[in-house]
Amino acid sequence: MYALKNKVQLIGNLGNAPEVKTLESGKKMARFSIATNESYRNAKGEKITETQWHNLIAWGKVAELAEKYLTKGKEVMIEGKLVNKNYTDKAGVKKYITEVQVNELLLLGDK
């Protein structure tokens, strides 16, 4: 049950190709975002689709896979955990960020 405490699974489409950096240690880091869509019918019977954007970060081997195979629009399934961060911007305002740290990556759709 411990593994279920902070677990996220998403299926969506990439907004852009991953931004990949190689750190001084040689470890790779990839940042990318995916869009998930939910559809429902409103009270008038009209179909409404809502899109949510999710910021993702991957490290090591997962980052290498993202760099090699992910392109804009590609459908993927990811599994990871939520990570919260905060920082103070140049104007002195505290900013908060929530992103998904990707542990597993699965390519979907056509090859």
pLDDT tens digits along 38-91: 999 999 999 999 999 999 999 999 999 999 999 999 999 999 999 999 999 999
Share of the chain above pLDDT 90, in %: 90
Whether the predicted pLDDT of 109 surpasses 80? no
Q: What is the pLDDT of residue 1?
A: 59
Whether the predicted pLDDT of 110 surpasses 90? no
Q: What is the pLDDT of residue 5?
A: 86
Alpha-carbon distance 95 to 97, whole Å? 7
Please give the tally of structural domains in the chain.
1
DSSP-assigned letters across all residues of the chain: -GGGTT-EEEEEEESS--EEEE-TTS-EEEEEEEEEEEEEE-TTS-EEEEEEEEEEEEEHHHHHHHHHH--TT-EEEEEEEEEEEEEE-TTS-EEEEEEEEEEEEEE-S--
Look up the domain containing 60 and give its range.
2-107
In the block, tokens 């902070």 appear at 6
CATH of the domain at 52: 2.40.50.140
To the question of pTM greater than 0.85 for the whole model, the response is: no
Alpha-carbon distance 27 to 83, whole Å? 19
